[in-house]
Amino acid sequence: MAEPLTTLGLAKTASDIIKEAMHFAREPKNTDLAEKLIDLYRDLVELVDTNHQLRRDNQTLRDEMSELQKNLKLKGEMRFDAPVYFRDGDGTPFCPTCFERDGLAIHLGN
């Protein structure tokens, strides 16, 4: 089974095709074609750079989503019993200021 095309593989293939076409475009009568191929190559490089940035942005969003899910789960496990919070299954109280202000579940010391 053939491997799916990766962005890098696709860019390399496109780059190779453009370079091969440039060989034919070097003749004096093909200067317009050569200019268009240069523009195309420049756009391809920009597209690859944009793809790399999008991958980084996507990973950042995934990390943020994971953190939000973790915080939401924690909030679902906490219950307020004035003046402190308790976590399901944990009899030791948690600092209300830490939890409400910072979203941190920090046990109160004895």
Query: Rounded distance, CA 82 to CA 79, Å?
Result: 9
Q: Is the pLDDT of residue 107 over 60?
A: yes
CA-to-CA distance for 62 and 44, rounded, in angstroms? Answer: 27
> And the tokens for 60?
């950042």
Tokens of 80: 């307020």
Tell which residue, 63, 69, 66, 74, has the closest CA to residue 106: 74
Q: What's the whole-number average pLDDT of the chain? A: 85
Q: Is the Cβ–Cβ distance between 48 and 8 less than 8 Å?
A: yes
pLDDT tens digits, residue range 51-86? 889 999 999 999 999 999 999 999 999 999 999 999
